[in-house]
Each structure stands twice: as structure tokens, then as C-alpha cells.
Structure 1
Amino acid sequence: MTQYAGSDHRAKAKAYFSQPGFQRMLAAVWNRYERLERIGGNAVVRKVTQAESEAINSFFGWNFNEGDDISIPLVLFEQELRESIFSIGIMELYRLIEGKALLTRAEKQLLSNAEWHRLFDEVRQLSGEEILPITNTWLSKLSAGQGVGWRTLRELFRDNHAKAQSSLTIVVRALHLLFAEYSRMEPIRLPVLAARVSGDAHALDISEPAGRMLVAVLQSMIPDEAGQQTAPAGDEDASDQDGSKSLKLRQLYRMNGILDDDLSSIVYWSVPEYGKPLLRNVWTLRQVEAAEHVPRCSRIYIVENPAVFSTLIDSMSEPLFLTGNPPALVCTSGPASAAAIRWLQRCIEVSDGTCSIYYSGDFDVKGISMAQTLQGLFPERFTAWRFDCQTYEDIVGCLPGPSLNGAEISKLQTLSVSWDDQLCKSMSQKARKVHQEAFVDQLVKDWKECFD
């Protein structure tokens, strides 16, 4: 498909799909979603014009001709959208093009329900404060099915009216505490804010509906480069946060006077000091951000597992006498935490422009995902370290790990990594995991060579 330059993927998506050749296809997609009430089934465009066949062929890589009937599976369209340069789904595409949410028949019926509209009157009464203009505007949009966090509230209302009412009231009270001019305060910890507005210190956790709706509102208040509001992500289940998403969420909170947990997120790291043996360091995110100095490094080796991290350090037991910037060793202990990512960012900032990242992980779906996350964060510096098809096949033949389950195999069949286009294919065919511990000797060999 056509590649667009620039940083605003939403503007690129709107421009791309506003081409005349997509109009009937998108109308069929919208109609199919509304009727089926989920992303599924096929949208059919009959007797396509030349412009339509060219547009659809270009996006999907198909080869239809003018006059053909084209059937587009919505699941495939959703997948292609998310894997494209636009990185969005059908729902967000509709919002970009039409300027409102894509609603199913059931959702449209909900909006005509008197009980639904009574919910907002009740919340206004229960808030106990004068409603701020920004909050009042949001509530009005929500009642019309347009506000950020609408689908989170809709699901709550459908299953539990009282829970919907209490969650929405909590968000309204939180917004008032944060933004009412006469109640401006020092930054407040998220659990403290939650307790003050609800009595429950966890009510605004990102795993809770009120927490997701609050995040959606805060995101919608941030202008992007074009002066438009950023697309909200509050309808997504953000409870599963990798380190990159966690850092962005922390930044969003802090921009709005909310302090988060900066002690639970940790990173293990080791950087040689002249004349000393390697030492293990464990820093929290708070320490990473507060440190006046972080080491300058020539390169950074990253491993996933603490046992591998310790084995590499144990292999260098004698004092080291290095000149120049030394290599660093970092352990993420699972998916890279906010502390690990922030440590990497700070180290790279003070090191010279040639400082590269070498990542090695478990050969499983999570290991692949972690590598892709780090590559996305540091695309110019990322290198796979013993994390390729050759290493996998060498080890799986003699030290195979647990079997991959059906869901993991299916996921691998849809994945491809830029550093080795055969890796995911081989893993899905052999259907076995390989843990880092099985090839730690090779990692030790590479690590020692850094000091020769």
C-alpha cells in the first residue's frame, strides 16, 4: 500500500481512505459492523469501478478487475489496518472519517433509552460539586454516544447500572479535584486521589472502568502537532501495560498533577568500574529518574532472565581495567519495565552516538514481543543478540523447551521480525520454546569477548 511521510498516522489514514475508490467499500464495512454488532462477516462491493479496484487492490495486495464483486472480511480489514503504517482499527478509522463513533444497532437503541439519559442526571446530582465546563461537555458527549470512554461506560451500564453510576461519579469528582481553580493543590498520588473521591484507593487503577475513563478524558485534552485533540485510547483495556505504555501513562498522569507508583518498577543493571569486579545494581524508577549521573556506555547488552544476568556477571569475577566507555549489562526480568526503558533512554542520552542495544530473550511469543517493543523504541540502535533462527534451531534440536500451545503457534504464524524473516516461521513449525538458560554459554562467550 502507499507509504505516507510525516508523523501523524491519523492524518495519513484519513487522507488515504478519503480517496473516492474507498467510499463504497467503507460504507459496506460500516453497514456490516452495524448489523452484525461486531467485527466479523464480509462487506461486499459489487461491480467495482476501476478506481475502486485499484484502491482496494493497492491496500490488500489483491488483483481484482473492474466489474468484479469484491468481498472484504472485516477481521482481515481490521488486521491489515493495525499492521499498516496507520496502526489503527476499524472503529478509529470511522471516527477519523465521520467525526463520530461507529455504533451498532443495539448501541443506537441504548441512546434512545430514557434510563440511559437519567444516568447522567443522577451523576450530576451525586457529584456534590459544581460541574466544570470541561466535565459538562464530556458528559453531554457521552450521553450522545460520542464522548471518550463511551464504550467502557456502555458495557458497565448494560451489566450493572449501579456500577456505571458510581464509576462515572468517581471520574467527575476526580476531574473536579484536579481542575477546579479554587482547589488547586500539590501533586497527588493516584491511590490518594482515588480514596478522596470514592473511599477506595484502587478505584482509579487503570484496570478499573473509572480509571480507564479518567485516562481517556486526560488523553483527549492533549493537543497534537496539528492543533487537534489526540485520539483517545480510553476504550481499550489498558490493564496490560508494557514498559513503553507504562511510561506514557505515567507522563500523562504527571502532566495533570497525578503522581504514580515509582517504586514497584525496577531494573537490574551492571556497568564495569575501573579496578573493580562487576557489581549488581537494582534501581527503582524513582532512582532512575532522580540519579544525577548514569553511566556512559559503549554498548548495552539486554537479557530477559535474572539467572542469565547473574551468570554473565559471575563469569567476570576478577577486577576489570578498561579504558574508554565500558559495555553495560541490563536485565528486564520479563517485559521491559518503565524503569528499564527509562534507564536505557538516560544511558543512551549520555553515551556517544554509536552506543547500540543488543537484546537476547526467550524464544517464545513474549520474548518476540519484547524484542519488537525495544526495536520500536530504539530502531536505530537495536540488534538481535543470539536471537535468530540459526540459534533457535541449533538449541531446539538438543535442548527443546516446553511445547508452544495452539494460540501461541497461531500468533507466531501471523508474526514476522525484521532481523530474521525465518525465525517466527521456524518457531511455529517446531512448536517448541527455547529458554535463554539453554544457550547461556554462548551469551557468556560473547560477553567475555567485550573485555578482551
Structure 2
Amino acid sequence: MTITTDAGIARKTMAFFNRRAYRRMLEAVWRKYESLGRIGGKAMVPEVSDEECEALNAFFGWDLRLGDRAEIPLSLFERELRESAFATGIVELHTLLEGKPLLSKQEKRHIHDTEWTRFVRGVRDLTGDTKSSVGCEWLSQLEEGFGAGVRMVRDLYKTDADLASASLHIVVRALNLLFAGDRAHKVEKAAVRLPVLAARCSGDAHALDANRPAGRLLISVLRAQQSGAEETEETAEERMEEEDGSDTLRLRELYRSFGILDDDISSIVHWYVPKPGLPASPAVWTLRQVEAAGHLSRCSHIYVVENPAVFSTILDSIREPVPAAGDPPALICTSGPASAAAIRWIQLILQASGEECKIVYSGDFDLKGLAMGETMARLFPGRFVPWRFDSATYQAAANAIPGPRFDDSELMKLESTEIGWDSQLCGHMRRMGSKVHQEAFVDELVRDCMAGGFDDLRG
């Protein structure tokens, strides 16, 4: 499976929709959005040409004919865009194609409102002399109604002008420290920890946390500086909602590219690689230790379990590790969703071990467990192998000792969920109605590990 980069998707999206066949439709969609200020209503394209018929019929599955009037519901177009390979929306598509945000008539009026201008200029006055071109240019963009995070700032301004002002002030001070006297996007100076930067800018070490307005704004500005283009607010909000460790790693890389270091101590991974003659004692590494290691030894495969009790039970069962005929196996525990430390550890093992090394993954049979398994499968395509994480294991365990019952909302979510490695699994879980935790079939997991190279099965 090939992973397409964001830049690659953007190029394909532009190439697809910049065709003449979509021009009139898009102009009608933009006008309708500007008029309503929301995703709604229908965009009208009169007397479609042969070229437009072919394009619209292919995209929507319609049967338009030459000379027909095309009526495009914006909600349908939005849904088709989101569910397509482009994975975008109407607002983001406009920004990508036109190079500026899609604003409603009301938003355009608001941009030029004297109160908005006075608000941004007030932030500039509060900040004093802006020591960096980045901060100065960003404030100028906001005053004109565009720029990184502008939607977030406008929404915040409408609900709490004081908080909006304070957040902008903090971000501008941070940009002054990061970019002072330098028009390039990176400054050769000593790196600073994110909480230290926040404290220097505001007195609050958490002011630039990613769940705070100032923290989200700083991320938007840094991403815009890195890419050379504005990140839409919708995209920024979607990024903030992502929780898997790979997104944490990407955010850390963004910070580090601008001389900001974040917390590399709290993220941990429990791991074990058997060594003959030594007890089965796991190691607990922080992300800092994982990254400091740089290179890890080869392994034949990586067993991954979700729960600490299962991890310990497997270790309890190892009497004496046997010498491996080749590379030894590895065992790690994610303790829930895989942390940045766990993901980085796996990446290093895979880099050292080659294409033959697989991730043998087991999880709980509940909504969170399925989601964590799907995340791992997405992060490591071609390497992920489900380990007793299938319909047969679930049915056997649920029939033996049923776990807690799914509530109605969970059953509804299961109805719309499909697991890539077992299309029947969610149907069985809905039908039987009970969850199954790894601890219920831990004996099978232990036997697999012992047979997989952790111990001598004799006696």
C-alpha cells in the first residue's frame, strides 16, 4: 500500500478540478456558499455542455444530457468530496484552487468592519514593536481578513474578544522569540521547550498547549510557514482531533523544525526482546530514550498487545528464553492507544529488521480496541497482521464467558463500522452484543508467543 502525502493529494486535487469541465460548477458553488454563508442550497449550471455532462455524470453518478440544467446540492458535493480520495471539503477546495479563503458575504462585510480592524490594531499596540517579519506579516494578514488561523480568531473574537486578544498577543510574542531578526523560517539559536516558551510569552507554562487557543494558533502559523500556504481552519481543527501517536510525532517534527522541543518524557513504551540466560524483565523507555537509541537490533516479528496485564502474563509464562535460530521476536505493550514512543520504537525495529518483520497485533473486541487496531493497520500497511483479532476468536470467547454488553449507541456505531482485516467481525459483535477483552483469551496469546520463539515449550 502506498501512502500519499498531503502535498501529493493537493496536486492531484488541483489537477482534477482545474479542468474547464468543472469551472462553471465551481463558480456556482462558490456563489451559493457566499450567499448563504453555509453548506446548503443548490448551485445551478444552465445548459451544460458535453464536456460538463461527462465530468458531472462521472463525479456524481448522474445521467445529465447536453443542454440540461445541472442542480448541485452543496451538501451532496461536500459529502462526495469528503468521501473521495481527495478527502477535502468545499471551503478547503476553494482555498486550494483560488489561493484565498471562501468567505460568505457576511464574513466579507465583517472583515472590513472597523471593530475588527480596531481589534487587530489593538493587539499590535499591546504587543509593541514586532521584532519578527513573521509576526508582523501575520497581523497584517489578519487585519485584511486572511492568514493562518483567521477563522479561529474570528470565532474567538465573536465569543470572547478578551481571550482572542490575549491569545494573539501570546502568539505574536512567541513568533518574536522564534523569528527575531530573521526572515527565513528557521533560526539558528538554542532550542526551547514548549512550556518554557509559553512561560516566557505569558507567564503560563500551558498557554501554548495544543488544546489552548494560542497553542492552536501557533501550530497554524508554523504549518503555514512550513508549507508556504495557509492551512484552512477546518483542516486545523481536524488535525487537533486526531489522537494517535503518529500525529503526535508529526506535530513534534513541526515544532522541532522551528527550534521548539516538547515533552519527550511522558510518552513511554514497555518492550521485551528475549535474551537466553536472562530473566524475562521488560524495559520501559521514554520517547527521549527511544530517539536517543537511534538504531535498534533486528527482530523476526513484533508481538503487540494492548493491555499491561496481558503483557505481564506473557512475561510470567517465560521460564527461560531459548536461543533464536535467527532474529528473536519482540513483545511490546501500548497500554491503550499507541504512544509516540511506541510508534517510534516500532519504526526503528522495522527499519533495522527489513520487510520480513511483521507487526502481530492483538486488541480488545470493543469500539476502542477496533479503532486502535485500525490505526496500527493504517500506520504500518503491509506490516500489520491481526493476531487472534478476528471473528473466530471473538465468537469462541464471547460464547465461553461473555463480557460487558454493548449499549445502544455502541451498537449503532458498530453498524457503521467495518474492519479492514475481517469484514464479518463487526456483524458478529452486533449480533452477540458483548465485548471481549484480551484477558479473556490470554492463554491462547501466551501459547502463540511461546511457539513464536519466546520460550522452550517442552515440559
Give the structure-1-normalised TM-score. Answer: 0.89
Secondary structure of the corresponding residue to residue 387 of structure 1? coil
Determine if contact 2:272/2:282 at 8 Å carries over to the other structure: yes
**Greater CA drift, 63-72 or 183-192:** 63-72
Given the superposition, is the C-alpha separation of residues 269 and 79 from structure 1 closer, same or farther in structure 2, using an over 3 Å criterion?
farther
1:198 matched to which residue of 2?
Answer: 202
Shift of 1:326: 0.8
**Greater CA drift, 292-301 or 35-44:** 35-44
**Following the alignment from structure 2 to structure 1, what is the Cα–Cα distance between the partners of residues 45 and 425?**
37
2:281 counterpart letter in structure 1: L
Identity %: 50
Q: 1:254-275, CA deviations, whole angstroms, 9 ceiling, x for partnerless residues?
A: 1111110001111111111122
2:63 matched to which residue of 1?
Answer: 64
**Greater CA drift, 11-20 or 27-36:** 27-36
Shift of 1:394: 3.5
1:337 counterpart letter in structure 2: S
Q: 1:394 aligns with which of 393, 396, 407?
A: 396
1:181 matched to which residue of 2?
Answer: 181
Determine if contact 2:134/2:179 at 8 Å carries over to the other structure: no
2:298 matched to which residue of 1?
Answer: 296
Secondary structure of the corresponding residue to residue 277 of structure 2? coil
**Following the alignment from structure 2 to structure 1, what is the Cα–Cα distance between the partners of residues 418 and 74?**
22
1:376 matched to which residue of 2?
Answer: 378
1:283 equivalent in alignment to 2:282: no
Determine if contact 1:149/1:217 at 8 Å carries over to the other structure: yes
Determine if contact 1:302/1:329 at 8 Å carries over to the other structure: yes
**Following the alignment from structure 2 to structure 1, what is the Cα–Cα distance between the partners of residues 22 and 401?**
51
**Greater CA drift, 295-304 or 105-114:** 105-114
**Following the alignment from structure 2 to structure 1, what is the Cα–Cα distance between the partners of residues 347 and 115?**
50
1:262 equivalent in alignment to 2:264: yes
2:217 matched to which residue of 1?
Answer: 213
2:113 matched to which residue of 1?
Answer: 113
Q: 1:350 aligns with which of 341, 352, 373?
A: 352
Shift of 1:447: 1.6
Shift of 1:430: 4.9
Q: 1:177-227, CA deviations, whole angstroms, 9 ceiling, x for partnerless residues?
A: 01113896411111110011111111100001111111111111124xxxx
Given the superposition, is the C-alpha separation of residues 27 and 421 from structure 1 closer, same or farther in structure 2, using an over 3 Å criterion?
farther
Determine if contact 1:316/1:448 at 8 Å carries over to the other structure: yes
Q: 1:333 aligns with which of 332, 335, 348?
A: 335
Given the superposition, is the C-alpha separation of residues 5 and 276 from structure 1 closer, same or farther in structure 2, using an over 3 Å criterion?
closer
Q: 1:158-191, CA deviations, whole angstroms, 9 ceiling, x for partnerless residues?
A: 1011111110111110000011138964111111
Q: 2:435 aligns with which of 421, 433, 439?
A: 433
**Following the alignment from structure 2 to structure 1, what is the Cα–Cα distance between the partners of residues 152 and 172?**
15
Shift of 1:418: 2.9
**Greater CA drift, 283-292 or 436-445:** 436-445
**Greater CA drift, 8-17 or 411-420:** 411-420
Secondary structure of the corresponding residue to residue 337 of structure 2? coil
1:97 matched to which residue of 2?
Answer: 97
1:9 equivalent in alignment to 2:9: yes
Determine if contact 2:207/2:215 at 8 Å carries over to the other structure: yes
Q: 1:238-266, CA deviations, whole angstroms, 9 ceiling, x for partnerless residues?
A: 16532011000111111111110001111
Matches within 5 A, 1:25-174: 25-40=25-40, 43=43, 48-60=48-60, 62-66=61-65, 74-174=74-174
Determine if contact 2:301/2:357 at 8 Å carries over to the other structure: yes
1:449 counterpart letter in structure 2: A
Given the superposition, is the C-alpha separation of residues 352 and 202 from structure 1 closer, same or farther in structure 2, using an over 3 Å criterion?
same
**Following the alignment from structure 1 to structure 2, what is the Cα–Cα distance between the partners of residues 429 and 449?**
33
Gaps of 5+ in 1: none
Secondary structure of the corresponding residue to residue 358 of structure 1? strand
**Following the alignment from structure 2 to structure 1, what is the Cα–Cα distance between the partners of residues 320 and 33?**
65
Given the superposition, is the C-alpha separation of residues 34 and 196 from structure 1 closer, same or farther in structure 2, using an over 3 Å criterion?
same
Secondary structure of the corresponding residue to residue 226 of structure 2? coil
Secondary structure of the corresponding residue to residue 300 of structure 1? strand
Shift of 1:76: 4.8
**Following the alignment from structure 1 to structure 2, what is the Cα–Cα distance between the partners of residues 431 and 76?**
34
Q: 1:99-137, CA deviations, whole angstroms, 9 ceiling, x for partnerless residues?
A: 111223432232122111111211111113334222222
**Following the alignment from structure 1 to structure 2, what is the Cα–Cα distance between the partners of residues 434 and 80?**
36
Q: 1:130-157, CA deviations, whole angstroms, 9 ceiling, x for partnerless residues?
A: 3422222222222233211111111110
Shift of 1:364: 2.8
**Following the alignment from structure 2 to structure 1, what is the Cα–Cα distance between the partners of residues 69 and 313?**
61
1:348 counterpart letter in structure 2: L
**Following the alignment from structure 1 to structure 2, what is the Cα–Cα distance between the partners of residues 408 and 90?**
31
Given the superposition, is the C-alpha separation of residues 78 and 388 from structure 1 closer, same or farther in structure 2, using an over 3 Å criterion?
farther
Secondary structure of the corresponding residue to residue 204 of structure 2? coil
2:367 matched to which residue of 1?
Answer: 365
Shift of 1:84: 2.8
**Following the alignment from structure 1 to structure 2, what is the Cα–Cα distance between the partners of residues 26 and 260?**
42
Determine if contact 2:124/2:139 at 8 Å carries over to the other structure: no
1:422 matched to which residue of 2?
Answer: 424
**Following the alignment from structure 2 to structure 1, what is the Cα–Cα distance between the partners of residues 297 and 434?**
38
Given the superposition, is the C-alpha separation of residues 71 and 412 from structure 1 closer, same or farther in structure 2, using an over 3 Å criterion?
farther
Shift of 1:360: 1.5
2:205 counterpart letter in structure 1: A
2:440 counterpart letter in structure 1: A
Q: 1:301-341, CA deviations, whole angstroms, 9 ceiling, x for partnerless residues?
A: 11111112112222223343323211111111111110000
**Following the alignment from structure 1 to structure 2, what is the Cα–Cα distance between the partners of residues 280 and 76?**
52
